[in-house]
Amino acid sequence: MGRIRRTVIETAVIVAGGYFIYNNVISEETKAKLDNMVRTVQDAATKIQEIVAAQQPQPISEEENEANRETVERQWESIGY
């Protein structure tokens, strides 16, 4: 339990530090560059998700399933089962 608590506290400190640095230390130009970088990464991730989704196999229709079943049955019959 102590390890989880320590990890949560460390994460909170890192996030708070990053938030403070972003809002109070870095210049507006650097903020704009960081925002642009985040948008670029988000766009790339979205494109990758779209490509992966497009590659997913389409569901087989009932007619295709039936035709495949009949073909397999004929093949089994031709070898003696």
pTM: 0.51
Tokens of 21: 């640095």
Going by pLDDT thresholds of 50, 70 and 90, the confidence category of residue 1 is confident
Domain count, the chain: 1
The pLDDT score that the predictor gives to residue 58 is: 76
Domain with 64 in it: 2-78
Question: Closest Cα partner for 21 from 76, 13, 77, 46?
Answer: 13
Q: Are 36 and 45 in contact (CB under 8 A)?
A: no
pLDDT digits (tens, 9 = 90+) for 27-72: 999 999 999 999 999 999 999 999 988 887 777 788 888 888 999 9
* Statement: residue 5 has pLDDT above 90: yes
Residue linked to tokens 């766009």: 43
* pLDDT number for residue 48: 95
How far is the C-alpha of 18 from the C-alpha of 33, rounded, in Å?
Answer: 16
Task: Give the pair of three-digit tokens for residue 43.
Answer: 């766009």
Q: 1-5, 10-14, 17-21 — which is least confidently predicted?
A: 1-5
